[in-house]
Structure 1
Amino acid sequence: MARSARALVIGGGIGGLAAAAALHRRAWDVTVLERAPSLEPAGAAISLAPNALRALDVLGIGEEIRDLAAWQGDGGLRTPGGRWLSRSSAEAAAARFGGPLVLLARATLVDRLAALLPPGAVRTAAAATLADPGDSRRPARVRTGAQEREADLVVAADGINSHVRTALFPLHPGAVYAGFTTWRVLIQVPGARFASHETWGRGRIWGTHPLKDGRVYAYAAAVAPAGERAPDDEKAELLRRFGDWHEPVPAVLAAIRPEDVLRHDVHHLATPLPAHHLGRVALLGDAAHAMPPTLGQGGNQAVEDAVVLAHHADDLAAYSAARLPRTTAVARQAVRVARLTMARTPAVVAVRDTAIAALSTLGPALFLRGFDGIADWRPPYAAQEGHGGRRERENT
């Protein structure tokens, strides 16, 4: 009996696990190599748009994720004083894109993706480096410690500072600082009752969203020098920057403990790669197209990558051709939105807010328009039929 094709996935984040699951469904022998001691994900929560949910339908867990997640869209965009610039609804989002936008804890998604893999497929505490990308005549080789493994396919899902990307494209400039930093928390807020919102100030934003499990996901971003950190703790920094903003921001801040706060500077690939593959190696997720989080599409695009890669696993040039133009366009849109949200000049901010309010009276809320051409993506092969598929058809 001929052996199954072998794939090694470097990186056990959302994109890497999704790719492993997609390849496993197509009868590949898959091993995930994760350098961390566990699959505990970095970050707090993840927003999944209909494009990513359709990709998860291909993996067979789309409906489960819809059921576990909170639907997004009820709420809108506000000013720091609390004035609504635009309002929207979850139903409007679902109608526009053929399915909901949802929010859930990253750990939940990671657990569900890992459960799709056979026992022993995920190796933690397994730092891996690319020894040889291979070509049409020889396999790729990956080194883990003193051992080398051969593979018909290597999936590099090793993040924004991807060592594999550097090995494949040493002349590429790599990730650059986007000019702003972010904070994220996932906490209980006693007595919390509020609509989801994102609030735009001068060079600062704040977002608050309830999860289905009763917790609250809050995030903030602000223009700041790269590497800057609070002189005391990051809760105190959030209080200084956002403590006088509208409710529920003060209530959320009051519920935060300093150890709850995750802070990360934002970096992205300002220069697109020439391809998302070389030899027998495919780049995926942030390793291929890291983008600012302003559209919430980083993880979504990684899940898209995963199912498209599995579809084109025997033709990586076709994978690059399918993904490079789309991810480049989405990344550029995220950069444009970042410039809008991080505007600091008072006159520019006033014009921005006035335009948003005016546009929102003439049609769909601005945040919905920002997903046009993104959230309506569909996989290159049929998703699993089921309740999730029926729900999409009912909303189209």
Structure 2
Amino acid sequence: MPIARAVVVGAGIGGLTAAVALHRRGWQVTVCERAPEPPVTGAGIGLAPNALRALEAIGVDAAYAVGSTVPAAMELRRSDGRRLSGTRTADLAARYGVPPIAVPRPAFTAALAAALPPGTLRYGTAVTAVDDPEGRPVVRTEAGPDLPADLVVAADGIHSPLRRAYFPAHPGLHYIGETAWRVLLDAPDLRVPAMSETWGRGERFGVTPLSDGRMYLYATAVVPAGTRSADPRAELRRRFGTWHDPIPALLDRIDRLEPADVLQNDLYDLAAPLPRLHHGRIAWLGDAAHAMAPNLGQGGCQAIEDAAVLAHLLPAEPDGAQDGTPDGSPAGIPAALAAYTAARRARTDAVRLRARRVGRLGAVRHPLAVAVRDLVVGAVPDRLALRGADDLFSGFRLPG
């Protein structure tokens, strides 16, 4: 009997994780990615305990693939350096069974791609549409050929054309009022041991040591959408050059990079939840399904959870033998996708809303409101703050 076929639209973290998970469940997988080649630059990603457990569920050891260097602590500070709150990584590991790790996105996506059979990934293959007549999806590509499929995974990102096509009444994206700069930096001599985020007045600056020894730096500011400066390096120095150490030293290193090495993106989340995360035999995951602000570091983590749950719910080794369908298409797919929506929609929307609320705290600009925020955040005992992450870090479960 023919093996059932899945086409994954998008080769980001969610799409590649789904491809690996489906391949290991016995599916024939094709990944279509419009970019001409894999990314070689970009940002970092934090893999929280929930994401690491989801990866483990599909047989992926992230620490083995991309390194396991773990920051000593996670800290929140004011712009003058005063500590507001923090958690030792050892305490996170004791509570959640595994410590978080932070890795370069290009290295992580390369590790996922390496777990797929040769020929699975098709770079430079733009998907123009997915037709789903009578439960027989056909993926249309710009250069051809068309790809018939038993399942389509829409992992086509925050601006998902497939989301717009199948949910035309949905309000789409919501600008959260901030822009973000991101950069990867070599600075081993600075010896920054902790992952930290610093809050000012409508501005934030984050420092994350990565598994390969580099630093992932990010910064945000409350500005109108589309705001750009001629040189992002100078803009970062103007905004953050007087903040606490080691931020000025890190900005010195950024000055040595090319302006194009500093990525800038306005921040959006989904204005409202999708009515469901599937349509026929199409399933949405990651930013395409529930784009969220990066304030909790859960965007990529929730995409990984999506992929693990989706593959778990779909029929394993779907060669048609279990249901006798003449084309080898497993009859259980529609029911599995309905179960996927039931398992994921409420959790991902709760995380989306929580990320938006945390972002509003970080974006406060009035001096009095900033003082009150810092006083309240600083008054919460570290043990209670750690407990507050339980629903995020312990919330991943495989259904059934």
Q: TM-score, normalised by structure 1?
A: 0.91
Q: Choose the corresponding residue for 2:372, options 347, 351, 355.
A: 351
Q: Residue 190 of structure 2: SS of its match in structure 1?
A: coil
| Contact 1:54–1:379 (8 Å) recurs in 2 | no
- 1:67 deviates by 6.8
RMSD: 1.7
Mapping for residues 281-296 of structure 1, pairs under 5 Å: 281-296=282-297
Q: CA separation in 1, counterparts of 2:350 and 2:295?
A: 14
- 1:365 deviates by 6.4
| Contact 1:77–1:84 (8 Å) recurs in 2 | yes
CA distance 1:166–1:65, change in 2 (3 Å): farther
Name the counterpart of 1:139. 136
Q: Residue 32 of structure 1: SS of its match in structure 2?
A: strand
- 1:346 deviates by 1.1
- 1:90 deviates by 0.5
CA distance 1:288–1:26, change in 2 (3 Å): same
Q: CA separation in 2, counterparts of 1:129 and 1:73?
A: 46
- 1:176 deviates by 1.6
CA distance 1:273–1:148, change in 2 (3 Å): same
Task: Answer yes or no: is 1:98 the counterpart of 2:113.
Answer: no
| Contact 1:202–1:342 (8 Å) recurs in 2 | yes
- 1:189 deviates by 1.8
Letter in 2 for 1:333: R
Task: Answer yes or no: is 1:378 the counterpart of 2:376.
Answer: no
- 1:199 deviates by 0.5
Q: CA separation in 2, counterparts of 1:215 and 1:206?
A: 17
Task: Answer yes or no: is 1:227 the counterpart of 2:226.
Answer: yes
- 1:154 deviates by 0.3
| Contact 2:66–2:211 (8 Å) recurs in 1 | no
Unaligned runs of 5+ in 1: 383-396
Q: Residue 179 of structure 1: SS of its match in structure 2?
A: strand
Question: 1:139-167 CA deviation, whole Å, 9 max, x = no partner?
Answer: 10110124322110000000011010111
Question: 1:231-250 CA deviation, whole Å, 9 max, x = no partner?
Answer: x2000000111000001000
Give the share of equivalent positions with the same residue, in percent.
Answer: 51
Mapping for residues 194-273 of structure 1, pairs under 5 Å: 194=192, 195-230=194-229, 232-256=230-254, 257=257, 258-273=259-274
Name the counterpart of 1:390. none
Name the counterpart of 1:176. 174
Letter in 2 for 1:354: L
CA distance 1:298–1:41, change in 2 (3 Å): farther
Name the counterpart of 1:303. 304
Name the counterpart of 2:115. 116
Unaligned runs of 5+ in 2: 315-332
Name the counterpart of 2:383. 364
| Contact 1:127–1:144 (8 Å) recurs in 2 | yes
Identify the range of structure 1 (298-307 vs 351-360) with the bigger mean alpha-carbon deviation.
Answer: 351-360
Letter in 2 for 1:376: S
Name the counterpart of 1:15. 14
Q: CA separation in 2, counterparts of 1:141 and 1:58?
A: 30
Identify the range of structure 1 (212-221 vs 319-328) with the bigger mean alpha-carbon deviation.
Answer: 212-221
- 1:122 deviates by 0.4
CA distance 1:33–1:41, change in 2 (3 Å): farther
How many residues are treated as equivalent by the alignment? Answer: 375
Q: CA separation in 2, counterparts of 1:42 and 1:265?
A: 18
